[in-house]
Amino acid sequence: MKTSLRRSARRRAMGAGFAALLLGAGAVGCAKGEDSPKMTPVAAVAKAAKNAEDITSFRYRMTGKVPEQGRVKADAAMRMKPTVAMSMKMTALDQGADGTAEIRLVDKAMYMGGGAAAAKEMDGKSWLKFDLSELGAEGLDDPSLGAGQADKNPADQSTFLAGSKDVEDVGTETVDGVKTTHYKGTVTMKQLRESLKGEDEATRKRRFDQFTKLGVDAVTMDMWVDGDDQTKQFRMRGDGDKGPLDMTITLLDINEPVTITAPPAKDTMDLAEMMDEAQS
């Protein structure tokens, strides 16, 4: 039973890893408003990316395909201030029963919920807890623990398209009832690296590493910008050595209250305690 439990915990941790990784995939702010004066595609994309820096909380949906995980869908909410918190309900559509999970990040602890399937393997408890404060800096950066990007603002990645050499205005489109301008371009990893030269090392690592880990050499990016120069939707596509990436993030809310709570203690199993018991 212990071996099965550890195996199940690892599977769910990897599932959390792909979700947390995608939290850094470019979700940025959205709002409705009047059309802004016409700008060049590069200037429009850069302005939308700059506006994303003011995000303090948001909700969004995510659909697409992720290397090694296949087709995924998720609904998520994240708060950046006053403290970082995150909640995501996700489904890896190609992984059957093991592909559905919920993740919460609260008070430097990551919780993964597997519902009834997890409860069968964890003495009736449906949540697994990772205490990130005990893992230290290395633990926070370990994607297998689902923490890789969970405490970072996903809006960081919205700057990528501004580094493209071929940004173009595709035309006007309506996204989720909002009139937007669709921009598109391709960013190579070399261009991305050059665009980050003026940033500090932590920022460069945060924005660049997720793609190198997937073995992606170039990313085709689409951005739908509304009349308030905010991004309503974002799509990224690329071919990595671990499979294709094709992910679309649509913002449904921005800077609205986001409250996330830890699961009940009676329904939670602490991973550290579980491993100590297994070793003894």
pLDDT of residue 202: 67
Tell me the whole-structure pTM to 2 decimals. Answer: 0.74
The verdict on residue 280 lying in a domain is no
Six-digit token string for 279: 């070793």
How many Cα atoms sit within 13 Å of 10 on the Cβ side? Answer: 7
| pLDDT for residue 34 is more than 70 | no
3-state secondary structure of 9: helix
Write out the two tokens for 203: 């920022």
We report the CATH number of the domain holding residue 264 as 2.50.20.20
Would you state the structure tokens that stand for residue 178, as one six-digit string? 């909002």
Instruction: Show the CA angle centred on residue 79, arms to residues 100 and 18, nearest 5°.
Output: 35
The β-bridge relationship of strands 85-92 and 100-106 is antiparallel
Q: Which domain holds residue 84?
A: 2-270
Look at residue 99 and tell me whether its pLDDT is greater than 60: yes
pLDDT at 155 over 60: no
Alpha-carbon span 101 to 68, nearest angstrom: 17
Better pLDDT: 158 or 253: 253
d(CA 193, CA 158): 15
- pLDDT at res. 126: 84
Q: How confident is the model at residue 19 (pLDDT cuts 50, 70, 90)?
A: very low
Q: Is residue 116 part of a domain?
A: yes
Q: Is 275 part of a structural domain of the chain? A: no
DSSP code of residue 228: T
Which residues are registered as beta bridge partners of 171? Answer: 182
Q: Is 279 contained in some domain?
A: no
Nearest-10 Cα torsion for 71, 76, 81, 82: -120
170-to-42, 101, 180, 193, 225 alpha-carbon distances in Å:
13, 36, 11, 26, 11
**Residue 78 domain-assigned?**
yes
What amino acid occupies position 100? T
Confidence label for 60 from pLDDT (cuts 50, 70 and 90): confident
Domain count, the chain: 1
Is 28 domain-assigned? yes
Task: Answer whether residue 277 is part of any domain.
Answer: no
| Residues 232/180, Cβ–Cβ less than 8 Å | yes
Secondary structure class of 203 (helix, strand, coil): helix
Cα–Cα distance for residue pair 151/133, rounded to 1 Å: 12
pLDDT given for residue 145 in this prediction = 38
181 pLDDT band (50/70/90 cuts)? very high
Which has the closest alpha carbon to 233: 173, 163, 150?
Answer: 173
Q: DSSP string covering 140-155, please?
A: HT-GGGT-TTTTS-GG
In the 3-class helix/strand/coil scheme, how is 124-190 assigned residue by residue?
A: CCCEEEEEHHHHHHHHHCCHHHCCCCCCCCHHHHHHHHHHCCCCEEEEEEEECCEEEEEEEEEEEHH
Region 126-145: mean pLDDT is 60
- Determine the Cα–Cα distance for residues 217 and 126; give it in Å rounded to an integer: 39
Pairing of strands 243-254, 57-66: antiparallel
pLDDT at residue 85 is higher than 50: yes
What's the CA gap between 257 and 190, in Å, rounded?
Answer: 38
Q: For the chain, give the longest Cα–Cα distance.
A: 67
- Give the torsion sign (CA, 208, 245, 191, 159): negative
